[in-house]
Amino acid sequence: MSLNLDQINRKIFLLKIYAFFAYGTSVFYFLFALIWFYLNGISVAEIFAYNIFVVVIMLIFNNLSSRLSDKIKKRAFFMIMVKILSILAVIVIILDVSLMSLMIFAFLLYFISNETFLTAYFYELLEARERIKSEVNSNFRENKSKEFTKFRIMGSIGWAIGGPIAGFIIEAGNNITNSSLKGFQIAFFISIVMNLINICYLYTITRCVESKLKIGKGISKEMNQQQKNKVKNKRSLFRNYEFLFLLSITFVLEISLSLSASIKTIYATELGGTYLFVGLLAFVWAMCEVPLFFISASLVEKFSYKVPILISAVFLIVKYLFYIYIVTPETLLLFLLLEALNTFGILWPAITYAINNIAKEKKAFGTSIYLTLMALARFIGYIIGMVLAITYNIGGNYENYKILFVWALFLAFMGVVIFLIFNLLILKAKYKNKKLIR
């Protein structure tokens, strides 16, 4: 017996509520765990090593778990496993603070990708709703992208609200216990309790659902055709100037971003920011992500996907110039305001549009290549960061972080240079094609 329309709509609504609380809970440890380790003697270089380990785990195990999920069609099981592993990860860092516990924390936290299964499950609910509605109206097509944006916004709002709350709890906990560290343990313990509640809630809304969704029915032919198209002449994508442009500039920008984003919260505390201030960084970043999604989509529609990509490079350049020359403990508020320049918010809609239009029938292959290359870029960026941290003994003083921002600034400028070069090549190629047609 399959679910009816009202039941599916209710599941979709409840899953949006879950996204709000799930992201609001995860910000407690995703945002503050590295500060906790840094305060307990883990160096900046070791934190970059941690990020390298995270990328390796994601490249190896995320793909394996994703394939297994596709095979057995048990999204909810993996979503619950993510929360169980998150609880174990937080317990580990509460009980022990060392490089080994940091690596165990990374493994447990990134072994399975929450985003992957949550997204797949949500889309499968939308597909089930579309099948029911199309039985009444054969021309009906679900606007899945728009619905997913609403769902993802709930996660962004949860993250934005959870950040300041976590920061406040840490500050208050430290004051109550007269300790500079106990507040972290209190916040981490609260996140464990919240995740247990999330697990119960998730189980309630997902139990016995997947067997009734008829996952995979009605789309198998389409999926088979996509796989054939993916294999057929896949190398031709690498002869496409626009696709090479997309890969090249975003690759360089991702390396640049990895040098700064991974140590941003620690740098904020070195500048004198409180833990509530760190939470407010998450609030501004996440809340600005929402309007930037729509601004990016509007720019793509009116001009080109290249405009948001160039703006994302400008965002990085502006932030790094401020970090190097203007932001100090006396101008800490500027550091908070700069979080409004959310690179992901302005870039992601443009990237998804570009891949879908450049790769055309090879969308899946194009997306896979793009995501793999971004992971490689982060890997390279973290290695550069680790080497710089060791060479210049980064940590303990906000001034010596600037070498990271100088390198990041150079790479962001390189992204702009690549942007200009490839646009000239694309224009030249189009001009030649017009001459041939004439």
For the chain, 438 residues long, the average pLDDT of each consecutive 10-residue run is 79 92 95 94 94 89 71 79 95 94 93 77 82 74 71 90 96 91 95 96 79 48 45 50 83 95 93 95 92 87 88 96 95 95 89 75 66 88 96 92 96 93 76 60
CA angle 227, 231, 234 (to 5 degrees): 130
Q: How far apart are the first and last CA of the chain?
A: 62
Residues 248 and 214 in one domain: no
Residues 53 and 154 in one domain: yes
Residue 136 domain boundaries? 1-227
Distance between CA atoms of residues 62 and 81, nearest Å: 13
- Write down the pLDDT at residue 198: 95
Residues 177 and 286 in one domain: no
What pTM does this model have?
Answer: 0.82
* Residue 425 forms part of a structural domain: no
Long-range pairs, 350-356, Cβ under 8 A, ≥24: 350/296, 350/299, 350/300, 350/305, 350/306, 350/307, 350/308, 350/309, 351/246, 351/250, 351/305, 351/309, 353/297, 353/300, 353/305, 354/242, 354/246, 354/305, 354/309, 355/246
- Write down the pLDDT at residue 438: 53
Distance between CA atoms of residues 241 and 426, nearest Å: 6
- Write down the pLDDT at residue 70: 65
- State which of 227, 251, 277 marks the end of a domain: 227
Residues 206 and 257 in one domain: no
Q: Which helix (H) or strand (E) holds 265?
A: helix 264-270
Residues 164 and 107 in one domain: yes
- State which of 227, 258, 284 marks the end of a domain: 227
Q: How far is CA 41 from CA 38, 44, 102, 180, in A?
A: 5, 9, 12, 14
Residues 222 and 141 in one domain: yes
Q: For the stretch 213-242, what's the b/e string if a residue is b when 16 or more beta carbons lie within 10 angstroms of its beta carbon?
A: bebeeeeeeeeeebeebbeeebeebeebbb
**Cβ-contact 140, 117 below 8 angstroms:** no
Residues 129 and 1 in one domain: yes
* Residue 430 forms part of a structural domain: no
* Residue 82 forms part of a structural domain: yes
Structure-token match 């919260």, residue found = 265
* Residue 147 forms part of a structural domain: yes
Q: Which residues lie closer than 8 Å to 26 by C-beta, 6 or more apart?
A: 86, 114, 159, 162, 191
- Write down the pLDDT at residue 227: 46
* Residue 424 forms part of a structural domain: no
Cβ neighbours around 371 below 10 Å, total: 14
CA angle 205, 88, 29 (to 5 degrees): 85
* Residue 438 forms part of a structural domain: no
Residue 251 token pair = 């690759």
Residues 247 and 214 in one domain: no
Residues 217 and 172 in one domain: yes
Number of domains into which the chain is organized: 2
- Write down the pLDDT at residue 245: 82
Residues 29 and 171 in one domain: yes
Residue 129 token pair = 């709703």
- Write down the pLDDT at residue 262: 87
- Write down the pLDDT at residue 214: 53
Summary count for the chain: helices (H), strands (E) = 18, 0
Q: How far is CA 430 from CA 187, 216, 248, 303, 423, in A?
A: 57, 41, 20, 17, 10
* Residue 61 forms part of a structural domain: yes
Domain containing residue 385: CATH number: 1.20.1250.20
**Cβ-contact 437, 327 below 8 angstroms:** no
- State which of 227, 259, 287 marks the end of a domain: 227
Residues 324 and 248 in one domain: yes
* Residue 269 forms part of a structural domain: yes
Residues 323 and 401 in one domain: yes
